[in-house]
Structure 1
Amino acid sequence: MPVYFIGQVQSNNCTRIKIGRTGNITRRRGQLQTGSPHPLEIMGWIRSDDEVALEKQLHIDFAHRRQIGEWFRIEPGEILPILRAEGDSGFVAKNADAFEITGYDRDAVPEYLGVWAWCDLEFHECCPFCGCFCGMHYQDASSMYHCTNCDALTDFSELSPYDDE
């Protein structure tokens, strides 16, 4: 059961983030959305063998920023180091348009939309397909990049390896 971070977005700024745990993050976001006048976004999650202890520790770490219950006044940028520190157990909810070409630099190299909506992440840090902080690893034999978590294999010539599904 992952420990999740769900943010309440107000005017494109996250003002409150809920730290909780659930077996189905998407369903939990929907349940929370019912009681919120502002859009809620899944920011990321951590898979853990002891999610109760992890959630408790995060609540202690942010106790001075608690607003009410499990809601805290923290910014997405403060969550990112926590997710990164978890390595292949940390995930970001990837931007739906991740790796969409947004333009080209002066050398005609494509510039891509980032993986995470709240911060720039490179593909060597975070898989743009599953959000895992294991990153994409270059394989000389195939001349492609591989994610050890979701097994995505790509040369980034297409938006997603799952487009045909």
Structure 2
Amino acid sequence: MPVYFIGEDENGCSPIKVGVAKDIGRRQSALQTGNPLELRLLGWITSADDFRTERDLHQRLASRRVRGEWFHIEPTEVLPFLVEAGERGFVAKNADAFEITGYDRDAVPEYLGVWEWADLEIDECCPFCGCLCGMRFQEASQMYYCIQCDALTDFSEPFPDDHHGPDD
């Protein structure tokens, strides 16, 4: 059961709820039912002890508590927790993550971005699954590889149909 971060979209995604759920999409729907503001998934962390991870996050954010499991933090303040989790940390992908906006001087594509609230590069975050393990370049294949979702790409093709997030 991942530890999720869900924010109120109409308020810049703050406050943010930090909770645990087997099915994040179903939990988001249940929370949405009681909330007049649009809710948006920001990211999640998987761990061997999700309830301990949730408890630790609640303790670290205690001074920012609004009510229950809701905290007055911004989406950019969630990123350090996700990065700290490494390959167990995921950002909720931007729907247009694969819109190529240009190429750098090494001919590596520059895309719109995986996460709306931070400029994450492919070596930091997989644009296919949102894992903060990043894409690694493989010399043998001359392609980029994600250890989490097994995506293998040279970025010449748009988002493969067989790589999705937890609720896609």
TM-score (ref. length: structure 2): 0.90
Q: Which residue of 1 aligns with 2:138?
A: 139
Q: 1:164 and 1:98, CA in 2 relative to 1: closer, same or farther beyond 3 A?
A: closer
Q: Is the 8 A contact 2:151 2:163 kept in 1?
A: no
Give the SS at the match of 1:114.
Answer: coil
SS at match of 1:14: coil
Specify which structure has the higher proportion of strand. 1
Please give the alpha-carbon distance, in whole angstroms, between the structure 1 residues aligned to 2:87 and 2:163. Answer: 26
Counterparts in 2 of 1:145 and 1:8: CA distance versus 1, 3 Å: same
SS of 1:36's equivalent in the other structure is coil
Q: For 2:108 and 2:20, locate their aligned partners in 1 and report how far apart those are by CA, in whole Å.
A: 41
For residue 160 of structure 2, what is the aligned residue in structure 1? 161
What's the Cα RMSD here?
Answer: 2.2
Aligned to 2:32: 33
Q: Does 1:9 align with 2:9?
A: yes
Please give the secondary structure, in 2, of the residue aligned with 1:32.
helix
| Displaced runs of 4 or more, over 4 A | 103-110
Percent sequence identity is 62
Structure 1 residues 102, 163: closer, same or farther in 2, change over 3 A?
farther
Describe the superposition over 1:35-73 as per-residue Cα deviations: whole angstroms up to 9, x where unpaired.
111111110000011111111111111111111110111
Unaligned runs of 5+ in 1: none
- For residues 83-136 of structure 1, give each alpha carbon's deviation from its aligned partner in whole angstroms, at most 9, with x where no partner exists: 001110101111111021235689997542111011110010000000111100
Aligned partners of 1:127 and 1:133 also within 8 Å: yes
Give 1:3-82 correspondences, 5 Å limit.
Answer: 3-10=3-10, 13-82=12-81
Aligned residues: 164
